[in-house]
Chain A
Amino acid sequence: MALEEVRFEALGSSCHLLGVGLERGRLSWAAAWVLEMHGRFSRFEPDSELSRFNSRAGDWVEVSSELGGMLHAALEGYRLSGGLVHVGVLDSMLAIGYSHPLRHGLPQRARAGAAPPPPLPEMLQVGDRRARLRAGAGIDLGGIAKGWLADRLADDLGENCLVNLGGDLFARGAGPAGDGWPVGMGGVTVLLSCQGAATSGTWRRAWGRGDEHVHHIIDPRTGRPAVSDLAEASVVAARAVDAEVHAKAALILGSDRAPAYLATYAHGWWLAPQAP
């Protein structure tokens, strides 16, 4: 059976959907679904469900099943990473100037750094189809959203498909040749089957030079861009959202501590050091 694919821009990233033996029109439906999710969960869209949730911080708010799922995933990612993956760093994102999509231009000079956020469970409560954000707080779902959406879409798209949303991907089924989906990660090609993968790097979504070099991986312990001896961490895990969480945590941990952490949670990883 032929391999079908579609590429498009959404979620502030390049998206790539592939499938073998899919029902007619399935990829078009999937691309439209991703674009709809972009409109609902981008913090840069003022009318998005996420923006409305942030604007009502302090109140219990009814949330969709998708937002509820992402918020649960955010709390789980926080727990698994020992607090290193924290969606409540919106103030820090704004402080470094990341207040608009990067396709509209790189941020100007950063303002004074934001304070480290409180523990996520103190900021965010999630109940049955409702959630509450602490007054004055804000969240940026970022990679958690992409990973969660990739997992969700792969469940629905077909039995042999790959969903790649800005580098957070889930490969379902045996792939085009029957031995797994060949995915580039780090310096190698890995064959994935019913597994997720993601890369976190300080060279992506980064701007400035020298002492003013800024990137978007925030260390919640400081409220500032993470200082790490790793330039990149790529991870294979059970799901895309897990790979996203563990790649980011590994990057923040650095080369000394990341392998022990990843040995607990990941199926495989690639750690690349900062250039000398």
Chain B
Amino acid sequence: MRSLLLKAGATVLTLAAAAAAAVHVSTHVKNPVAPLHPGVLGAPPAVSTPASGKLSLSPAVHTSKVETVTSTYAS
């Protein structure tokens, strides 16, 4: 009788631990702030942007996406 109670107790304890582990794992699929989080899965790398500055154009000048043929930085 005593051995039967011990076996039942061990079984209940095992099932409870398994259930608790399942709940924990299902609610912690990934940790976005994990210190070893691979960089490649993080934010996309910054895109190079033009130098900061303020542009002001009159109607006599238009901007374009066309490739430049020369620039004012030739010095």
Residues of chain A touching chain B, judged by Cβ–Cβ distance below 8 Å, are 3, 5, 13-16, 18, 162, 164, 166-169, 175-177, 179-192, 195, 197-199, 204-205, 232, 234, 236, 259, 262, 266-273
* Number of B interface residues in the complex (CB < 8 A): 26
- A162–B69 alpha-carbon span in the complex (Å): 9
Q: Is the interface of B mostly helix, strand, loop or mixed?
A: loop
Name 23 interchain pairs, CB-CB below 8 A, sorted by A: A14-B75, A166-B74, A166-B75, A167-B75, A180-B62, A181-B70, A182-B64, A183-B70, A183-B72, A184-B73, A186-B55, A187-B50, A189-B63, A191-B61, A191-B62, A191-B63, A195-B60, A195-B61, A204-B75, A232-B53, A270-B54, A270-B56, A272-B53
Residues of chain B touching chain A, judged by Cβ–Cβ distance below 8 Å, are 49-58, 60-75
Out of B49, B53, B60, B65, name the residue touching A270 (CB < 8 Å). Answer: B53
Assuming the A-B contacts A16-B74, A185-B72, A187-B51, are A267 and B64 also in contact, with contact meaning beta carbons closer than 8 angstroms in the complex? no
Residues on B with beta carbons closer than 8 Å to the beta carbon of A192: 61
Residues on A with beta carbons closer than 8 Å to the beta carbon of B67: 182, 189
Residues on B with beta carbons closer than 8 Å to the beta carbon of A185: 71-72
Out of B50, B60, B69, B73, name the residue touching A188 (CB < 8 Å). Answer: B50
Shortest CB-to-CB span from A153 to chain B, Å, is 14
Q: Is the interface of A mostly helix, strand, loop or mixed?
A: strand
A189 lies within 8 A of B64 (CB): yes
Q: How many A-B contacts if CB must be within 8 Å?
A: 126
Assuming the A-B contacts A186-B51, A188-B50, A268-B56, are A167 and B72 also in contact, with contact meaning beta carbons closer than 8 angstroms in the complex? yes
Out of A181, A259, A268, name the residue touching B57 (CB < 8 Å). Answer: A268
* Most chain B beta-carbon neighbours within 10 Å: one of A13, A16, A189, A192: A189
Q: A167-B72, A187-B49 are in contact. List 19 more A-B contacts (CB 8 A).
A: A15-B74, A162-B70, A164-B72, A169-B74, A180-B64, A182-B67, A182-B68, A184-B70, A184-B73, A186-B53, A187-B53, A188-B50, A189-B63, A191-B61, A195-B61, A199-B72, A204-B75, A262-B56, A270-B55
A183 lies within 8 A of B69 (CB): yes
Assuming the A-B contacts A162-B69, A189-B66, A192-B61, are A259 and B74 also in contact, with contact meaning beta carbons closer than 8 angstroms in the complex? no
